[in-house]
């Protein structure tokens, strides 16, 4: 890619723009009537990828050279565990596949009955997530082994990191198989349904949070949803660009957003959530809340894990954060294949990455400033005390102007 990021505004690939518009129209009409409509669509978008995954798995393991790819997959290089970027990528992968930190789980769970068995849901969801990721590894690496056998290259030379693996390497492998059009249609239908599913979850998290804070949005859901997907469309158009030499420039913008928009802010947010629940809200109170919902306390395993192992886990998390901080100190500018991003793009990316996490101290300072107390220590103690432990629970005026009695109280 011998082009620069600044040249991507020259042309639009209107075929991709039209396809993007169609996808967002599907998302809009799937969500505009609320969770009841999108919930029915999710039955298809969530289950169809498993059907395709199973078909691709069977096809993959029957290809010549697939055993080399599977062997490579099952024999990892353990020395890479000393690389901070590996832990960072692993944490990001778990967050993306399972959903903590994005608000999606909170948004969907808010529609459940208060006594819904979250204990069972958490175990089932985590197990399915891990099993799906493990199965997907066989689907990917069996085909990479086939590509290695066909091209005579090593597997690590065939594979690409990031979107190149999904949009370049795997489609190239499918194109060499018998009945290539059929396999390609199945594969990209799976990608579309996965994308729709992710868009449903992320958008519903935004809509639910803002609707609870501003009731006018809830009363005008269709209009707000149209504005939201219109904003998505504007951002997406920048990724539908070609450069003067007709090479794909939009992939550079997408890679920039993937790297800088989904790493630091997400890790910091989840780390703060764990710290607040474990040390401020308290494991004892959390256990009591679970009993209030389910009718029984978590078993001895869970209680001992939270009370004994939680500090160890938090120290481990702190160690990982220091490792990630080390990678930030030894920061390397973003590079995609043979294209080096300009300094301005990297500087802007760092600010973009930390913008989401900056909301945590900003809101914290706002709450501290408005807390009751004559001295700073009194305000700090008051702000760090859970609502249920306070003499009065109507201390703050909600930002959205709601009645304070409607606030969710932890």
Residues 6+ apart with CB under 8 A from 46: 197
Q: What is the DSSP string of 315-360?
A: HHHHHHHHHHHHHHHT----EETTEEPPHHHHHHHHHHHHHHHHHH
CA distance 203 to 224: 11
Q: What is the mean pLDDT of residues 266-293?
A: 80
CA distance 103 to 201: 9
Q: What is the mean pLDDT of residues 83-97?
A: 73
Which pLDDT belongs to residue 16? Answer: 83
Q: Copy the structure tokens of residue 365.
A: 């300072």
Residue 347 and residue 257 in contact, taking contact as beta carbons nearer than 8 Å: no
Q: What is the mean pLDDT of residues 310-315?
A: 53
Q: How far is CA 378 from CA 309, 375, 385, in A?
A: 31, 5, 11
Could you tell me if residue 103 is left (phi over 0), alpha (psi between -120 and 50 degrees) or otherwise beta?
left
The segment with the largest mean pLDDT, out of 40-44, 150-154, 207-211, is 207-211
Is the pLDDT score of 187 beyond 60?
yes
Give the model's confidence band at 227: pLDDT under 50 very low, under 70 low, under 90 confident, else very high: very high
Which pLDDT belongs to residue 231? Answer: 92
Which pLDDT belongs to residue 3? Answer: 45
Is the pLDDT score of 2 beyond 50?
no
Residue 263 and residue 96 in contact, taking contact as beta carbons nearer than 8 Å: no
Is the pLDDT score of 1 beyond 50?
no
At residue 372, the 3 state secondary structure works out as coil
Question: pLDDT above 90 covers what percent of the chain?
Answer: 3
The DSSP bridge pattern shows strands 335-336 and 241-242 to be unpaired
Closest CA to 324 of 369, 372, 400, 266: 266
Residue 5 and residue 345 in contact, taking contact as beta carbons nearer than 8 Å: yes
Q: What is the mean pLDDT of residues 169-196?
A: 84
Q: What is the mean pLDDT of residues 179-187?
A: 85
At residue 391, the 3 state secondary structure works out as coil
Could you tell me if residue 280 is left (phi over 0), alpha (psi between -120 and 50 degrees) or otherwise beta?
alpha
Q: What is the mean pLDDT of residues 151-160?
A: 77
């Amino acid at each position: 890619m011998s082009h620069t990021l600044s040249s991507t505004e020259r042309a639009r690939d209107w075929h991709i723009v039209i396809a993007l518009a169609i996808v967002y129209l599907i998302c809009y009409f799937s969500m505009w009537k609320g969770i009841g409509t999108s919930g029915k669509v999710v039955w298809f978008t969530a289950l169809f990828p498993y059907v395709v995954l199973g078909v691709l798995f069977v096809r993959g393991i029957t290809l010549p050279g697939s055993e080399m790819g599977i062997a490579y997959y099952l024999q990892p290089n353990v020395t890479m565990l000393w690389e901070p970027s590996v832990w960072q990528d692993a944490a990001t992968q778990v967050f993306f596949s399972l959903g903590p930190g994005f608000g999606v789980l909170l948004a969907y769970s808010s529609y459940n009955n208060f006594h819904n068995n979250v204990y069972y849901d958490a175990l089932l969801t985590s197990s399915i997530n891990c099993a799906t990721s493990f199965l997907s590894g066989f689907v990917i690496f069996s085909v990479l082994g086939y590509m290695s056998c066909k091209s005579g290259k090593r597997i690590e030379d065939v594979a690409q990191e990031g979107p190149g693996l999904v949009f370049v390497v795997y489609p190239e492998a499918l194109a060499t198989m018998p009945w290539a059009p059929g396999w390609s249609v199945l594969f990209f239908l799976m990608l579309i349904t996965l994308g729709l599913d992710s868009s449903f979850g992320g958008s519903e998290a935004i809509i639910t949070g803002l609707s609870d804070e501003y009731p006018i949005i809830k009363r005008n859901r269709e209009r707000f949803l149209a504005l939201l997907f219109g904003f998505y469309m504007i951002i997406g158009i920048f990724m539908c660009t070609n450069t003067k030499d007709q090479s794909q420039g939009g992939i550079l913008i997408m890679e920039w957003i993937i790297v800088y928009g989904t790493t630091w802010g997400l890790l910091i947010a989840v780390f703060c959530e764990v710290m607040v629940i474990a040390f401020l809200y308290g494991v004892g109170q959390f256990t009591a809340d679970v009993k209030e919902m389910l009718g029984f306390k978590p078993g001895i395993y869970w209680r001992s894990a939270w009370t004994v192992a939680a500090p160890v886990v938090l120290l481990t998390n702190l160690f990982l954060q220091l490792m990630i901080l080390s990678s930030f100190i030894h920061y390397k500018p973003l590079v995609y294949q043979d294209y080096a991003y300009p300094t301005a793009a990297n500087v802007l990316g760092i600010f973009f990455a930390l913008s989401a996490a900056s909301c945590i101290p900003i809101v914290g300072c706002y709450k501290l400033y408005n807390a009751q107390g004559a001295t700073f220590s009194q305000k700090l103690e008051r702000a760090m005390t859970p609502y249920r432990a306070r003499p009065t629970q109507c201390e703050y005026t909600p930002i959205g102007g709601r009645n304070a009695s409607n606030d969710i109280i932890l």
